[in-house]
Each structure stands twice: as C-alpha cells, then as structure tokens.
Structure 1
C-alpha cells in the first residue's frame, strides 16, 4: 500500500545546496518510492552547538516501503553523502534526512518516531512542510501543519533562492 511521506532534508557542511540536490537524486532512485513534490529552500540558524547555518527543504514521497525500511535507506544515503555515524548530537553535518510525517501512521519504536518528535517545535521543518501540506494533520497533536506553524514562536528561518534545487512544486493557492 502506498503512503504519502514527508522527509526533511538539511545540510550545513560543504556546498549545502549540492548536498540537498544529491540527496534528492538518491531519493528518486529508491525502488518503491516516487518523489512527488519539493518545497522551497530555507536557510536557518542551527539548533545545538555553534556551527554554520543550515539549508533545509522538505520533499513529499509516495512510498510503498515500511517506515523502518525507508529509515534504513535514508541512513545509507546519509552515509553515502559523507555523514559520519555517531557524530555530535545536533552537530554540523553534510546531510540530514528525517521522516517528518507519514500520512495515516504513527510509529513508535526505539529507532524511529513518526511523526518526528520535534516537528511541532521546528520552524525550519514546518515552513517547508507547510508549503507542501498545510492541511495535513499531525496524527498525535490533531492539528494541521498550518496550525502548528501558526502557533510557533518566531525563529531564524528564511526562504532563500536556489541555483540547482528544483523549482518548488506546491499549491500556490489555499484550497
């Protein structure tokens, strides 16, 4: 059975946009996954220790895999793109791929929590997610992505221009 899945992408080491494009290309090569849409790029202040600013985006996937199987593949993509396992928590990284929401599913196991446990606190994830899925409901908090974003205090997150990232594909008008 296919599900719509929203994956957050982030990078703050090396050429951040190239890293995100490489991750997007890797996502598009996964069997049983179709990349449906991409958000704009957003630049954000890091969470955690002092480090460079992040570039973030969200992609919507149609996925026939289990959440645990997709997680294994995302971790392999991170490794292939230069992320070292076991780095500093919230430290700098060339690529970070997180399953943010999996429509119709809640996953709570030792290696994976969906929806992402910090999603409702992170403007750098909610801003791009709201471009793609403003009306999708958080299955635990029972609020839409747009409502979660509305409740969040201001944070240092701005949409930015891209040179290589695909043009955003999201609803331009509210339905």
Structure 2
C-alpha cells in the first residue's frame, strides 16, 4: 500500500546544499519510493551546542515500504554521505534525514517515532513542510501543519536561494 511520507533534510557541514542534493538523488533511486515534491531551502540556527547554521528542506515521497525499512535506507544514505553516528546529541553533521510525517501512520518503537517527536517544536521543519502540506494533520496532536506553525514562537529560520536544489513544489522525478 502506498503512502505519502514527508522527510526532513538538514546539513551544516561542508557544502550544505550539495549534501541535500546528494541525499535527494539517493532517495530518488530507492525502489518503492518516488520523490513527489521539494520545499524551498531554509537556513536555521542550530539546536544544541555552538555550530554552523543548518540548511533545511522537506521532500514529499510516495512510498510503499514499511516505515522501519525506509528508516534503515535513510540511515544508510546518511552514512554514505559521511555522517558519523555516535557524536554529540544535536551536534554538527553533513546530512540528517528524519521521517517527519507518514500519511495514516503513527509509529512508536525504540528506533522510530512518527510523527517526529519534536516536529511541533521545530520551525526549521514546519516552515518547509507547510509549503508542501499545510493541511496535513499531525495524527497525535490533531492539528494541521499550518496550525502548529502559527502556534510556534519565532525562531531563527529564513528561506534562502537555491543554486542546485529543485524549485519549490516542482516534481523532481517524472
């Protein structure tokens, strides 16, 4: 069965946009996954220890894999792109891929929580997500993405220009 899945991408090491584009290209090559749309790019202040600003985006995927299988593949993409797991919590990284929302699913297991446990607190995830799915409902909180966004205090997040990242809302793959 197919579902729409929203994945958050972030990078704050090296060529941030190139890391996001590489992750997007890797996701487009996953069997049983089609990249539907991409948000704009957003730059945000980091959460956690002092470190460079992040570049963030959200992509909408059409996916027939189970959530845990997609998570395993996303973690492999992170490793392939140079992410070292085991560093400081919320530390800098070349790439971070998080499953934010999964249409019709709530997942609560030790390795995966969907919707993402911090989604409702993170403007850097909600701003790009609101471009793709403003009316998507958080299945636990019962609020739409846009409602969650309007309740959030201001945070250091701003839309920025892309060099290689696909245009907002345009399909990435045919």
TM-score computed with the length of structure 2 as normaliser? 0.97
3-state SS of paired residue (2:84): coil
Deviations 1:19-58 (A, max 9, x none): 0000000000000000000000000000000000000000
* Residue equivalent to 2:14: 14
Residue 100 of structure 1, CA deviation: 0.1
Deviations 1:42-78 (A, max 9, x none): 0000000000000000000000000000000000000
Q: Which sections of structure 2, spanning at least 5 residues, go unmatched?
A: none
* Residue equivalent to 1:173: none
The 2-side partners of 1:132 and 1:83 are apart by: 27
Q: How does 1:142-157 map to 2 (within 5 A)?
A: 142-157=142-157
1:51 and 2:51 aligned: yes
The 2-side partners of 1:86 and 1:31 are apart by: 28
The 2-side partners of 1:74 and 1:50 are apart by: 26
TM-score computed with the length of structure 1 as normaliser? 0.96
Deviations 1:105-129 (A, max 9, x none): 0000000000000000000000000
Q: Which sections of structure 1, spanning at least 5 residues, go unmatched?
A: 171-175
* Residue equivalent to 2:161: 161
3-state SS of paired residue (1:98): strand
C-alpha RMSD over aligned residues = 0.6
Give the count of matched residue pairs: 170
Runs of 4+ in 1 over 3 A off after TM superposition: none
Q: How does 1:46-85 map to 2 (within 5 A)?
A: 46-85=46-85
The 1-side partners of 2:114 and 2:88 are apart by: 22
The 2-side partners of 1:73 and 1:88 are apart by: 22
